[in-house]
């Protein structure tokens, strides 16, 4: 058991899975000698050699398409997109092939690949380095898409993603790669994909979030408890696809009041689907309109203003108090 930050927890998952299974191949731009621009793959090249840790040319389409080829052969590629904002270059390979080859071949082939990438704002980066467009992947049948929120679940989800027989997109909240530490068991640990968790219990209000925004949501929840005496249940989605609505719908049935928090753009963002499921599963229990606290329908501003774009504790509190008073 060691106290690890999320970056190191993901590295632990990669290392252990490479150790367990020589079919696991890590590839991406600068993942080898450099150890990845966020140092997630550091040390892997020395340990496993350049046949298994592939420093690739700058070519995302080929990276994804090549990974699909590895997976068709039965290997387990873990392919890094340097930033989610550059993953669109490989998007058609995910949509047209990774998601469909099992279906297209009537089950002859499966694509046990992981496409992992840092996403989200908050690290003072350049344009295109702060995106949060998880919906683009979550909407595609045949793909799974998960977003961890703490070191421990990041490690467990990554292991599960690698072992999953289907393509899994992992969005890694780069803003909290090194924000805090958590005990992570040395021994192997997995988490079923498509399962959310209750990050905080409470009976007055339900808040739903995931990824980097979970911390802010929890902070708001604590503040609500302190200042307003309101007990908030916080659901951490962990998986956007499949989306586990059972847990949050149940919580909503219990509290009748819901706030959803994400940094993705508002329109056609993940909150829409969550709200749809809530309507379908818990409509008659809702006592107030569900509110969503999201990134705006603007381009993510350059870093001097990125915090204004991101949901913050104040905006979450605003929405929560609004919902409570509705």
Partner 1 sequence: MPRKKVRLEHSVEYLSILDKNGKVDEKLIPKIDKDVLLQIHRTMLLSRHLDDRMLLLQRQGRIGTFAPAKGQEASQVGAMAALEMGDWFVPAFRETAAMLWRGIEPANLLLYNAGYNEGAEIPEDSHDLPIAIPVASQIPHAVGLAYAAGYRESDEIAITFFGDGATSEGDFHEALNFASVLKAPVIFLCQNNQWAISMPRGRQSESRTLAQKGLGYAIPSLQVDGNDVFAVYAAVQEAAERARAGDGPTMIECITYRMSVHTTADDPSKYRDEDEVKKWQELDPILRLQKYLKAKKQLSDKKIEALEKELEQQIDTAWEDTHKRIQELTDPLVMFDDVYAEPPASLQAQRQAYEQHLKCEG
Ligand X SMILES: Cc1ncc(C[n+]2csc(CCOP(=O)(O)OP(=O)(O)O)c2C)c(N)n1
Positions marked active-site: 129
Residue 26 structure tokens: 């890590």
Please state, in angstroms and as integers, the Cα–Cα distance from residue 116 to each residue in 77, 102, 113, 167, 186, following that order.
10, 20, 10, 11, 22
**Near ligand X by CB under 6 A: residue from 58, 276, 279, 302:** 58
- Pick from a second copy, partner 1, ligand X, none: which does 146 bind, CB < 5 to 8 A by kind? none
Q: Are 180 and 3 in contact (CB under 8 A)?
A: no
Q: In angstroms, give the least distance from the CB of 132 to ligand X.
A: 17
Rounded to whole angstroms, how far apart are CA atoms 100 and 110? 9
Helix (H) / strand (E) element for 232: namely strand 232-236
Token pair 């969550």: residue: 274
Which residues sit opposite 117 in a β-bridge?
Answer: 171
Q: In angstroms, give the least distance from the CB of 300 to a second copy.
A: 9
**Near ligand X by CB under 6 A: residue from 89, 190, 198, 254:** 89
Looking at residues 246 to 265 of the shown chain, list those that interact with ligand X (rule: CB under 6 A): none
Token pair 């072992």: residue: 163
3-state secondary structure string across 69-126:
HHHHHCCEEEEECCCHHHCHHHHHHHHHHHCCHHHHCCCCCCCCCEEEEEECCCCCCC
Give the 3-state secondary structure of residue 200. Answer: strand
Q: In angstroms, give the least distance from the CB of 304 to partner 1.
A: 3
Q: Does 273 bind a second copy (CB under 8 A)?
A: yes
- Pick from ligand X, partner 1, a second copy, none: which does 47 bind, CB < 5 to 8 A by kind? none
Nearer to partner 1, 133 or 144 (CB): 144
Specify the stretch interacting with a second copy by CB under 8 A; choose among 113-121, 157-165, 199-207, 264-272. Answer: 264-272
- Pick from a second copy, ligand X, partner 1, none: which does 235 bind, CB < 5 to 8 A by kind? none
Q: Which residues bind ligand X (CB under 6 A)?
A: 29, 58, 60, 82, 86, 89
Q: Which residues bind a second copy (CB under 8 A)?
A: 85-86, 88-89, 91-92, 95-96, 99-100, 103-104, 127-128, 133, 135-136, 138-142, 241, 243, 265, 267-276, 279-280, 283-284, 286, 288-292, 296-299
């Amino acid at each position: 058991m060691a106290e690890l930050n999320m970056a190191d927890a993901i590295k632990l998952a990669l290392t252990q899975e490479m150790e367990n299974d020589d079919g696991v191949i890590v590839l991406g731009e600068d993942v080898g000698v450099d150890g990845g621009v966020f140092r997630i793959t550091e040390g892997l090249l020395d340990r496993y050699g350049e046949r298994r840790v592939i420093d690739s040319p700058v070519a995302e389409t080929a990276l994804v398409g090549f990974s699909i080829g590895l997976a068709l052969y039965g290997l387990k590629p873990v392919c890094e997109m340097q930033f989610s904002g550059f993953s669109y270059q490989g998007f058609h390979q995910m949509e047209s092939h990774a998601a469909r080859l099992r279906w297209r071949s009537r089950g002859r082939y499966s694509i046990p690949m992981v496409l992992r990438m840092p996403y989200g704002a908050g690290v003072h980066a350049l344009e295109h380095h702060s995106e949060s467009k998880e919906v683009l992947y979550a909407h595609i049948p045949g793909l799974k898409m998960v977003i961890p929120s703490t070191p421990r679940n990041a490690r467990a989800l990554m292991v599960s993603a690698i072992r999953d027989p289907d393509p899994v997109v992992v969005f890694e909240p780069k803003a909290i790669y090194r924000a805090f530490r958590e005990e992570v068991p040395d021994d192997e640990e997995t988490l079923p994909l498509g399962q959310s968790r209750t990050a905080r219990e409470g009976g007055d209000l339900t808040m739903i979030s995931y990824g980097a925004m979970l911390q802010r949501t929890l902070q708001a929840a604590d503040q609500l408890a302190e200042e307003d005496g309101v007990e908030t249940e916080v659901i951490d989605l962990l998986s956007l696809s499949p989306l586990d609505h059972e847990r949050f719908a149940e919580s909503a049935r219990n509290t009748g009041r819901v706030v959803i928090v994400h940094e993705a753009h508002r329109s056609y963002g993940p909150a829409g689907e969550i709200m749809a499921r809530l309507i379908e599963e818990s409509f008659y229990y809702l006592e107030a309109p569900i509110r969503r606290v999201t990134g705006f329908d603007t381009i993510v501003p350059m870093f001097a203003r990125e915090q204004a774009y991101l949901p913050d504790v104040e905006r979450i509190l605003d929405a929560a108090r609004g919902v409570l008073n509705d």
